[in-house]
Structure 1
Amino acid sequence: MYGYAPWQQYAFQYSTLTLNRPSISHEGWRFDAALDRVPGTDEFMMRTVPGRDFAGWRPEPGRCDHCGKFRDRNTTYLVTNEETGETLQVGASCMEVFLGVRPKGLWSLGTSIEPDEDRNTAPLSTQSVEDNRELIAKALVASDMGKRYVSKSRAGEWGSASTADRIDALFGSTTFRRLTEEDRLEREEARQELAEVLSSGLVDDVVKAAREVGTDSDYGRNLNTALDAGFSTVAMSGTVISAVAAYGRKNREVAQVKVREDRITEATPGFVAPVKTRLRDVPVTITNVFEGTRAAYAWPHGDEPFQIITMRGADGHEIVWKTSTVQPIAVGDEVTMTGTVKEHGEFRGVDQTQISRAKLEIPVTLGADGFPAPNTAYSPNALGRAGKKLTAERIRVERTTRRPGADGEWNVEGRTTSNHRVTWETTDAPPEGSATELTGTIDYVDDSGVKTAIIVQS
């Protein structure tokens, strides 16, 4: 965030507010949906209240059942009579007369709904639009090719960044942002990856997977309407971005079918080791990754993501790890596993060794100096927990920066021979690119982004 330093700790106080959603009605009519016209076409996107789905049904564009007139309308609304179940389409300029209230500021759709005054609105040509293919390519880059898609609603529940927010961070304007060198490097790498995605056939694969969603739901109709348009307005972009979720889901389903077919034929009966055995740096291949949500036990008791990761060792034994720390891995990845055998079990005819207190490391190639290449992705895990003591830990210095407001003090960022990211403070900063040895204790782990061990020298 703007003005924050990565080596500092900040405390924030939050309050939880519970808002009552207003019920807007007139003589039994309930507000149900807004229909936003796709610029330059007769198609529209439908925004419904939570829990309401018209199963893909669409009224005639531009019609108003209140005044009986067909007009070139940008926005109309659907209202339903709670007693009879009758649904009417009402133009924005007629809504105040029909319901007795202006639709401006309604919360019923979870977004701001501005009235369309029909002929008095700004020309459609002035709306900002983006090519769908480029937007989908950006979404692929921001979601690790569809593997890490996060919707706006899930991002709020999990306290993480949504895919749409990641797109803005990687490709949005930098006019009012203060970018670090790391941010600039990440944006440059993202733009290079974007060019590669656009020149490949991945976007076509995403569109094909999204088309398979069908049109028997409001979401499916919205998605197909947006893809047919070929471009996205600000209101349409979230729906187009979500196409990568369908692509990621399809890929997972294909991979899971193969896993199920190979699982029984290739599995070795028995278990890796007895219960309570600590396993270290065992080479394994990821055979399945299931992701979901579950109730969290820590405050504020919301939902949290979790993974069930299935692995297979070189001897063919199946190993399973259930974790709430989402790991950036995929089926087929070859990693090293460290963990403790929790229990033995069986699932669909295959013996399983269940582990806990585990971590997965992606092997890297070491150079002549004993370190990974400078631009190699860091390990997704921290060097260790708070309190771990380090003795003559070999570290290559990656970057040194002066601490703001502290005379003669430096913040040093480095990479260990095991490819972990670490930082520490010193008054005698070694040159960037040099190797040094550090003795001290891990004070705490910064898990915002790449997990980083903050070291206090002894």
Structure 2
Amino acid sequence: MTTTIDTTDTITDAAAITHIIPDYSLTEFTRRVTNANARAARAGITATIGMTHQPHPDTIETDHHTGVRYVRHWIEVTLTTPVLQLGSWTLIAELDIIETGALMRTHGNGFELLRNWPRPDPQLCQHCNTRRNRNRNYVLRNNDTGEIAQIGSTCVEAFTGITVNPTAMRMLHADDMFDEFDDQDPHAGGQPDYPMRDILALAWTASDSGRAYVSRALADSTGRHTTGEQVRQLLIDDSPVSRVLISTAHRIPAATIDAILADIETTVTDDSEYGYNLRLIAAAEFVTTRNIALLVSAVAVHLRAESQRAASGPALHEWIAEKGDKITDVDAVVTGVRKRPSNFRSDAITTYLTLRSVDGHIIVWKASKELDLAIGQSCRITAATVKETAIERGEHRTIITRAKIAPN
């Protein structure tokens, strides 16, 4: 049974897909895009895969075998895939079927169109009304009536009455065609399965218990690799450093992974494509390479939840002291820890620490060293000087310097 959704909605263009690739791969990447578009033209398809590129910040890396440092040059490539029109039907989503359901990859505003859609069994085709093991289904929307239908890949042509060119369908998955270029990961094309909990343990380890987590936004602004990219590299790298990190990940307590998964369950809703897909992948036993970045973002979800729990209770709308004042013996709890490479020394770490005093003052310290503190940990500021006072996002923040902090 198909479903009709309000016909006042419209289809928007497909979202762009970004790849960060080594600069030496750009020629091959461009060749593949050109060849894909040429195949489409020969098949009578006027739509094309769009491609733009721009420099991405260089990274300084160290050869794990020789210890020699070198510069890697990167290119940011953005692909846009065409929206597929099949007569009076538009393809608005592809369903990547996994053990716990179907991950949705929508085109344009497809998720908004499907927000109130009563999702059928992921394995069901609503044309032949047959349920069988499938890797992928498609969701189509009638441009005239707003009707929504979930159709198996082999039934699309029979359902729409339009001859579906295989080349056109491959163009919809341009991101799959080029995944292998990201970090030169040879596994990307093969889509191996990894235990979901093992990947979370690797992410927890690679990000130093979340304190050095690198989001896509942070990576784009600093030229660093995301935590998801770091995890993918660990899976294929046989260097001594990688082996140590993997060994450490194996010793992560099960309770830590349970806590991350519990925060997904309690704090992430399925009213967005991201939330829907994250909840689904976190309930699976295994995860493929292409979904690692999605799963790894669970670390950031857990950190936000931990921070909110540690900062329970209202914050005071005042500063603990004024600029230039000394503070001593302040009991507090850590509500935020972020570790970043120093801007001055490549081998040094800067720690951004946020604390809540027992009486509700928010205190911030940018420490030019690595601090071994965790969110939720109790500590005492034995001495510090107030560097600045500020109001950020409606919160009174006391910014300190030359601090001495000891765990309680």
Find the partner of 1:130 among 182, 194, 197.
194
**Structure 1 residues 29 and 308: CA distance shift in structure 2, 3 A:** farther
Matched, 1:105 2:160: no
Matched, 1:174 2:225: no
Matched, 1:37 2:92: no
Distance of 1:169 and 1:330 partners within structure 2: 26
**Structure 1 residues 234 and 214: CA distance shift in structure 2, 3 A:** same
Secondary structure of 2:125's match?
Answer: coil
Distance of 1:229 and 1:349 partners within structure 2: 39
**Structure 1 residues 6 and 309: CA distance shift in structure 2, 3 A:** same
Find the partner of 1:203 among 245, 254, 257.
257
Cα offset for 1:239?
3.9
Secondary structure of 1:72's match?
Answer: coil
Tell which deviates more after alignment, 47-56 or 27-36: 47-56
Matched, 1:47 2:105: yes
Distance of 1:154 and 1:83 partners within structure 2: 42
Secondary structure of 1:257's match?
Answer: coil
Residues 421-451 of structure 1: CA deviation (Å, up to 9, x unaligned): xxxxxxxxxxxxxxxxxxxxxxxxxxxxxxx
Within 5 Å, give how 1:400-439 maps onto structure 2.
none
Cα offset for 1:217?
4.4
Which residue does 1:87 correspond to in 2? 148
Residues 241-293 of structure 1: CA deviation (Å, up to 9, x unaligned): 333333222111101225x46x57xx87541517xxxx9xx9996754498xx
**Structure 1 residues 8 and 287: CA distance shift in structure 2, 3 A:** closer
User: Any conservation in 1 of the 2:191–2:288 contact (CA below 8 Å)?
Assistant: yes
Unaligned 5+ segments in structure 2 are 1-60, 180-189, 339-349
Which residue does 1:243 correspond to in 2? 298
Secondary structure of 2:124's match?
Answer: coil
User: Any conservation in 2 of the 1:36–1:74 contact (CA below 8 Å)?
Assistant: yes
**Structure 1 residues 354 and 363: CA distance shift in structure 2, 3 A:** closer
**Structure 1 residues 202 and 127: CA distance shift in structure 2, 3 A:** same
- Find the structure with the greater CA-based Rg: 1
Distance of 1:307 and 1:52 partners within structure 2: 40
Distance of 1:87 and 1:29 partners within structure 2: 9
Identity %: 25
Which residue does 2:387 correspond to in 1? 341
**Structure 1 residues 36 and 7: CA distance shift in structure 2, 3 A:** closer
Which residue does 2:310 correspond to in 1? 255
**Structure 1 residues 63 and 247: CA distance shift in structure 2, 3 A:** same
Residues 150-199 of structure 1: CA deviation (Å, up to 9, x unaligned): 455764465322222222344x2335xxx4xxxx25642x344323313x
**Structure 1 residues 341 and 37: CA distance shift in structure 2, 3 A:** closer
User: What TM-score comes out, normalization by structure 2 length?
Assistant: 0.57
Matched, 1:163 2:163: no
User: Any conservation in 2 of the 1:338–1:359 contact (CA below 8 Å)?
Assistant: yes
1:26 counterpart letter in structure 2: L
Find the partner of 2:289 among 221, 230, 234.
234
User: Any conservation in 1 of the 2:331–2:381 contact (CA below 8 Å)?
Assistant: yes
Cα offset for 1:208?
1.7
Residues 349-402 of structure 1: CA deviation (Å, up to 9, x unaligned): 9975556xx6889889xxxxxxxxxxxxxxxxxxxxxxxxxxxxxxxxxxxxxx
Distance of 2:382 and 2:172 partners within structure 1: 49
Find the partner of 1:273 among 320, 324, 333.
324
Secondary structure of 2:251's match?
Answer: helix
Matched, 1:194 2:258: no
Within 5 Å, give how 1:287-326 maps onto structure 2.
287-289=334-336, 310=354, 319-320=363-364
**Structure 1 residues 195 and 158: CA distance shift in structure 2, 3 A:** same
Secondary structure of 1:59's match?
Answer: coil
Which residue does 2:207 correspond to in 1? 143
**Structure 1 residues 241 and 3: CA distance shift in structure 2, 3 A:** closer
2:232 counterpart letter in structure 1: D
2:297 counterpart letter in structure 1: S
Secondary structure of 2:155's match?
Answer: helix
Count of aligned pairs between the two proteins = 313
User: Any conservation in 1 of the 2:81–2:171 contact (CA below 8 Å)?
Assistant: no
Q: Which structure shows the higher helix fraction?
A: 2
Matched, 1:25 2:85: yes
User: Any conservation in 2 of the 1:271–1:351 contact (CA below 8 Å)?
Assistant: no
Secondary structure of 2:311's match?
Answer: helix
Residues 119-170 of structure 1: CA deviation (Å, up to 9, x unaligned): xxxxxxx973332232222222223334444455764465322222222344
**Structure 1 residues 271 and 330: CA distance shift in structure 2, 3 A:** farther
**Structure 1 residues 21 and 193: CA distance shift in structure 2, 3 A:** same
1:251 counterpart letter in structure 2: E
Cα offset for 1:321?
5.9
Within 5 Å, give how 1:362-441 maps onto structure 2.
none
Distance of 1:238 and 1:67 partners within structure 2: 35
Distance of 1:142 and 1:256 partners within structure 2: 26
User: Any conservation in 2 of the 1:338–1:360 contact (CA below 8 Å)?
Assistant: yes
